């Protein structure tokens, strides 16, 4: 659309030197299908064309709306090719005609504290400003992305990266980049991709998002600033669960540049009742075979002068041609009359489908839906296979395999926790849900580690900020100390449980031995041994009891082991001998003694000890 949109206040007279020219592009997806020999250069060819258009129209800077890379961890080949293009197109002696007057440290994500074109060590002639999307968002312990690499090297200016926090819904502060060129003043807000459900809740929670306004002066009141917001989210107009409703955005904005949506709707449309317009440039490359992707791809030339702006759609010529049609459209296209006064003839339709690597459907069953609409419903679809099949589909999947990904039925952490009625007190559900998403989709093995570390540090800082006394005996200090030991203790839970059971058995044994044998010189009889054995087994079985039964009780069942006879050291009617198949002798915990006897010849006869090693110590044989 060509024209001029007027906002709340018209700008004063300003010459051409006050016109700020911005070229807007979103969703470049560099590195898409890089393993396919046919498609691997598509995204880079279009990226080169975007820079050519920026030079042709003499723009002041290039503005990217997220998803610069297709993968969260782009390959070395993709990263190198991106840096080569940025170095050739951005580093030259062309003077920059605008200035940034805002606090650089608050709005830009770099360690140098200034835009790259203000660095005396780098000759930047075409500045690039970008936010991150859902494909190249920051992850890991240090919350870094591939865009941080480009920003650290001085090739791009990274903004819109916010720290939400992990307590409750969260909180963020969005600082604008204040750009001035002559009489034109632009406040550029940026918001990189955040999980839609969480961001929607933050928009609906008062005070969760702080939009930092620029200061008002006598020479420059707030009404003279042109406010632009660049964000990368799902755009919806109904439910608030799967995207962001445009009515949730603040009404002080003048123009919203919406990324993530690949359909090209570059013509700005006014949101009723909000006072701002929304432009959706769409992606610069097709990443799915849908009707929305089949539309012509554009970039947006945005010219701002005071409080006026003029958008111009520029078509991209290097995009791979994409034809999308439906059977119904083909029928309607050929639904013409054969002559005057005669009925229209049914058209002949033939669809040729390459099903290499896929399953087929029944052609006649498919054609039954179009009986009476086409002349050949029985053979309107034909399947074919490519002559040369790929040897290893995993290494080179081609274009079709990745253009139709299989989506899994995913469950959120909130749903799983709700099913088991678990009360989460330290780790927020939003952070766990995000960590799961990053671990699965971004292949970040440190996702859960960083989530745990971040929340633990925040909990410790919150406790230490309210602590008065540093003595470990103080209740607050004990909580801090205990929180630091909590995770380690949970990892050692099984080992400590086993050690506690063993310690319980040993301590009980010592107590029973001391109470039953106060005189060390006195021998322990069978009755005493039976008493100690009974107490020890009852204590031990109560510790290791499982499903109402322990190993000791299983061995005491009738039929599992023959009961001792009445002559084998006890009465058959005795409860102790009738309910147990064996008994433990405390003396057997020491080395078994060898009993010496003399045979008929007067020589020593070695007789085995009646104590035999068993599960709970030594077992006395009944003879």
| CATH number of the domain to which 355 belongs | 3.30.110.110
Containing structural domain, residue 376: 327-334+348-384
User: Taking Cα atoms as reference points, which of 559, 556, 617 lies closest to residue 588?
Assistant: 617
User: Taking Cα atoms as reference points, which of 317, 237, 306 lies closest to residue 278?
Assistant: 237
528: pLDDT strictly greater than 50: no
Does residue 41 share a domain with residue 82? yes
Within a domain: 413: no
Q: Of 542 and 320, which is predicted with more confidence? A: 320
pLDDT digits (tens, 9 = 90+) for 417-475: 666 666 666 777 777 778 887 888 777 778 888 888 888 888 787 777 765 444 445 55
User: Taking Cα atoms as reference points, which of 302, 329, 322, 327 lies closest to residue 313?
Assistant: 302
Within a domain: 543: no
Does residue 439 share a domain with residue 354? no
Which residues are within 8 A (CB) of 117 and not within 5 positions of it... i.e. 6 or more apart? 96, 124, 125, 127
Within a domain: 128: yes
Q: What is the pLDDT of residue 406?
A: 39
- Residues 265-270: what's their mean pLDDT? 94
Within a domain: 372: yes
Does residue 356 share a domain with residue 286? no
Does residue 218 share a domain with residue 354? no
Total count of domains within the chain: 3
- With the C-alpha atoms ordered 460, 464, 469, 470, is the resulting torsion angle positive or negative? positive
601: pLDDT strictly greater than 50: yes
571: pLDDT strictly greater than 90: no
Q: Quick count: other Cβ atoms within 10 Å of Cβ 220? A: 16
Q: What is the pLDDT of residue 77?
A: 96
Comparing 391-405, 479-493, 540-554, 583-597, the range with the smallest average pLDDT is: 391-405
Q: Of 446 and 77, which is predicted with more confidence? A: 77
Instruction: Report the CATH number that the domain containing residue 276 is assigned in CATH.
Output: 3.60.21.10
Q: What is the pLDDT of residue 443?
A: 75
pLDDT digits (tens, 9 = 90+) for 95-145: 999 999 988 777 887 777 789 999 989 999 999 999 999 999 998 888 899
Question: How would residue 308 be classed by pLDDT, with cut points 50, 70 and 90?
Answer: very high
163: pLDDT strictly greater than 90: no
Does residue 354 share a domain with residue 309? no
The pLDDT > 70 percentage for the chain reads 62
Within a domain: 365: yes
Q: Which of 135, 277, 298, 437 is catalytic?
A: 135
Q: At what angle do helices 475-491 and 493-516 cross, to 10 degrees?
A: 100
Say whether 135 is catalytic: yes
Does residue 231 share a domain with residue 142? yes
Token pair belonging to 584: 């433990």
Q: What is the pLDDT of residue 288?
A: 86
| 255 SS3 class | strand
Does residue 354 share a domain with residue 221? no
Q: Which of 109-113, 276-280, 319-323 has the highest mean pLDDT?
A: 276-280
Q: What is the pLDDT of residue 304?
A: 96
Does residue 248 share a domain with residue 167? yes
Does residue 460 share a domain with residue 361? no
- Residues 181-199: what's their mean pLDDT? 93
Within a domain: 502: no
Within a domain: 511: no
Does residue 356 share a domain with residue 311? no
Instruction: Report the distance separating Cα 138 and Cα 152, nearest Å.
Output: 14
Q: What is the pLDDT of residue 466?
A: 61
Comparing 63-67, 170-174, 392-396, the range with the smallest average pLDDT is: 392-396
User: Taking Cα atoms as reference points, which of 195, 182, 212 lies closest to residue 105?
Assistant: 212
Q: Per this entry, what is the length of the chain?
A: 623
Q: Quick count: other Cβ atoms within 10 Å of Cβ 408? A: 7
Q: What is the pLDDT of residue 16?
A: 58
Instruction: Report the distance separating Cα 302 and Cα 304, nearest Å.
Output: 6
Q: What is the pLDDT of residue 546?
A: 44
Between vectors from CA 62 to CA 227 and to CA 60, what angle results, nearest 5°? 80
Q: Using alpha carbons, list the distances in angstroms from residue 517 to 120, 171, 507, 540, 619.
A: 90, 69, 15, 21, 20
Alpha carbons within 13 angstroms on the beta-carbon side of residue 484 total 10
Alpha carbons within 13 angstroms on the beta-carbon side of residue 524 total 19
Q: Find tokens 């992606």 and name the residue.
A: 283
Q: Quick count: other Cβ atoms within 10 Å of Cβ 525? A: 9
Does residue 435 share a domain with residue 300? no
Within a domain: 503: no
Q: What is the pLDDT of residue 469?
A: 46
Question: How would residue 502 be classed by pLDDT, with cut points 50, 70 and 90?
Answer: low
Query: Which neighbouring-strand residues pair with 187?
Result: 178, 227
Q: What is the pLDDT of residue 326?
A: 73
Q: Which of 165-169, 260-264, 289-293, 560-564 has the highest mean pLDDT?
A: 260-264
Q: What is the mean pLDDT of the chain?
A: 75
Does residue 224 share a domain with residue 365? no
| Residue 80 buriedness (CB in 10 A; 0-12 / 13-18 / 19+) | exposed
Question: How would residue 514 be classed by pLDDT, with cut points 50, 70 and 90?
Answer: low
Question: How would residue 573 be classed by pLDDT, with cut points 50, 70 and 90?
Answer: very low
Say what the pTM is: 0.59
Q: Which of 177-186, 197-206, 382-391, 551-560 has the highest mean pLDDT?
A: 177-186
- Residues 485-500: what's their mean pLDDT? 52
Q: What is the pLDDT of residue 552?
A: 46
Instruction: Report the distance separating Cα 611 and Cα 620, nearest Å.
Output: 5
182: pLDDT strictly greater than 80: yes
């Amino acid at each position: 659309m060509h024209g001029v949109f007027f906002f709340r206040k018209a700008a004063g007279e300003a010459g051409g030197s006050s016109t700020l020219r911005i070229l807007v592009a979103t969703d470049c997806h560099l590195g898409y299908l890089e393993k396919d020999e046919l498609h691997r250069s598509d995204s880079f060819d279009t990226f080169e064309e975007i820079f050519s258009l920026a030079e042709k129209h003499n723009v002041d800077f290039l503005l990217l709306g997220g998803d610069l890379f297709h993968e969260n961890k782009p390959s070395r080949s993709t990263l190198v090719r991106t840096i080569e293009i940025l170095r050739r197109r951005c580093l030259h002696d062309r003077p920059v005609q605008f200035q940034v007057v805002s606090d650089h440290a608050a709005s830009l994500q770099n360690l140098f504290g200034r835009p790259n074109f203000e660095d005396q060590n780098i000759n930047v002639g075409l500045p690039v400003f970008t936010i991150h999307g859902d494909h190249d968002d920051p992850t890991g312990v240090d919350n870094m992305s591939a865009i941080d690499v480009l920003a650290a090297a001085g090739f791009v200016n990274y903004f819109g990266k916010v720290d939400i926090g992990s307590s409750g819904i969260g909180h963020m502060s969005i600082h604008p980049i204040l750009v001035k060129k002559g009489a034109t003043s632009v406040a550029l807000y940026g918001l990189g991709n955040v999980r839609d459900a969480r961001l929607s809740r933050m928009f609906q929670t008062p005070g969760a998002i702080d939009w930092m306004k620029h200061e008002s002066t006598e020479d420059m009141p707030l009404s003279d600033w042109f406010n632009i917001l660049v964000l990368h989210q799902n755009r919806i107009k109904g439910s608030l669960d799967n995207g962001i409703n445009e009515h949730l955005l603040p009404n002080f904005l003048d123009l919203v540049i919406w990324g993530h949506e690949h359909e090209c709707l570059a013509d700005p449309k006014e949101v009723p009742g909000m006072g701002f317009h929304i432009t959706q440039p769409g992606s610069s490359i097709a990443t799915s075979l849908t009707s929305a992707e089949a539309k012509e791809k554009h970039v947006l030339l945005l010219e701002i002068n005071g409080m006026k702006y003029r958008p111009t759609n520029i078509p991209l010529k290097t995009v791979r041609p994409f034809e999308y049609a439906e059977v119904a459209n083909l029928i309607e296209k050929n639904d013409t009359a054969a002559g005057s006064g005669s009925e229209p003839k049914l058209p002949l339709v033939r669809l040729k489908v390459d099903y290499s690597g896929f399953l087929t459907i029944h052609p006649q069953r498919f054609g039954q839906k179009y009986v009476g609409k086409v002349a050949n419903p029985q053979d309107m679809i034909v399947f074919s296979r490519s002559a040369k099949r790929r040897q290893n589909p995993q290494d080179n999947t081609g274009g079709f395999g990745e253009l139709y990904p299989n989506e899994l039925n995913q469950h959120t952490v909130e749903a799983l926790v709700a099913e088991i009625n678990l009360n989460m007190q330290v780790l927020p559900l939003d952070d766990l849900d995000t960590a799961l998403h990053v671990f699965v989709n971004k292949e970040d093995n440190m996702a859960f580690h960083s989530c745990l570390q971040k929340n633990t540090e925040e909990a410790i800082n919150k406790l230490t900020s309210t602590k008065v006394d540093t003595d470990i005996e103080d209740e607050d200090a004990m909580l801090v100390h205990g929180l630091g030991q909590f995770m380690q203790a949970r990892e050692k839970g099984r080992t400590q449980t086993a050690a506690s059971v063993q310690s319980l058995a040993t301590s009980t044994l010592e107590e029973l031995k001391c109470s039953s044998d106060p005189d060390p010189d006195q021998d322990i009889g069978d009755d005493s041994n039976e008493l100690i054995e009974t107490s020890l087994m009852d204590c031990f079985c109560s510790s290791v009891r499982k499903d109402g039964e322990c190993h000791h009780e299983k061995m005491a069942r009738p039929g599992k082991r023959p009961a001792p006879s009445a002559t084998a050291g006890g009465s058959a009617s005795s409860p102790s001998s009738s309910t147990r198949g064996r008994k433990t002798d405390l003396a057997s915990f020491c080395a078994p003694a060898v009993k010496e006897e003399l045979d008929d010849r007067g020589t020593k006869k070695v007789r085995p000890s009646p104590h035999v090693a068993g599960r709970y110590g030594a077992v006395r044989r009944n003879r």
